[in-house]
Amino acid sequence: MPVPDRQTRFRELLERSHARWVGIARAYAPPDDREDLLQEIALQVWRSLESFADASSLDTWAYRVALNTALAWRRKATTRSTKLKQANDDVGQLAGAAGEAGEPNVTAVLDRFLAALNEADRAVMLLHLDGVAQTDAAEVLGVESGAYRTRLHRIRKRFEEDYCQAEGER
């Protein structure tokens, strides 16, 4: 079977990966910049597509490119004080979000938790939430599978301690 041309391969990859890229952009960029980060991710995947060496699955490789692009984006954003202020304002707004019955909005709680994680832990959590297999997630992050599982366990425990305990237990 012939190998699809670059444009066809990119289009198919975009169809399969767009939702994941949106999730990455949501976790690493403030709301006003998410579309820009998403476009940067697509651009970097497009530019790097010719260098894909079939050493892993195309989807795993693209996830790694997307995550690395987001991490670079985040590092640049943290050097600009206006970006930091906007990110802090967004987190504050999420912390105040509530559902209809006074219960915390699940999305707001998750966004607040993700924002509180360091970049490496945020990447682990995103891979887990996206349903990426542990071996593939470890490959994306460039770590051993056991290290990925350990980090995920610690993140889950932190979430339970911070968000799932009754008020009297804290």
| CATH code for position 168 | 1.10.10
Q: How much is the pLDDT for 83?
A: 41
Q: With pLDDT > 70 as the criterion, what percentage of the chain qualifies? A: 78
Residue given tokens 């470890």 in the structure block? 138
Non-local (6+) Cβ contacts of 41 within 8 A are: 21, 24, 25, 65, 66, 69, 70
Same domain, 11 and 66: yes
Q: Give the pLDDT of residue 2.
A: 57
- Residue count of the chain: 170
> What is the domain count for the chain?
2
pLDDT digits (tens, 9 = 90+) for 33-62: 899 999 999 999 999 988 887 777 889 999
The sign one gets for the Cα dihedral 12, 53, 67, 79 is negative
Those residues whose C-beta lies under 8 Å from the C-beta of residue 104, and which sit 6 or more positions away, are 97, 98
Domain assignment present for residue 103? The answer is no
What does DSSP assign to residue 169?
Answer: G
* Domain that residue 64 falls in: 1-79
Which tens digit of pLDDT belongs to each residue from 116-153? 899 889 989 888 888 888 988 898 888 999 999 999 99
Please, are residues 101 and 109 in contact by the beta-carbon 8 Å criterion? no
How many Å is the maximal CA-CA distance in the chain? Answer: 63
What pLDDT is recorded for position 57?
A: 86
Which of 75-79, 93-97, 139-143 tops mean pLDDT? 139-143
Residue 163, pLDDT score = 77
Report pLDDT for 111: 83
**In this structure, what CATH number is given to the domain that contains residue 2?**
1.10.1740.10
Q: DSSP readout, 90-144?
A: HHHHHHT-B-TTSPBPHHHHHHHHHHHS-HHHHHHHHHHHTT--HHHHHHHHTS-
- Look at the pTM and tell me if it is higher than 0.75: no
Which range has the top average pLDDT, 17-31, 70-84, 107-121? 17-31
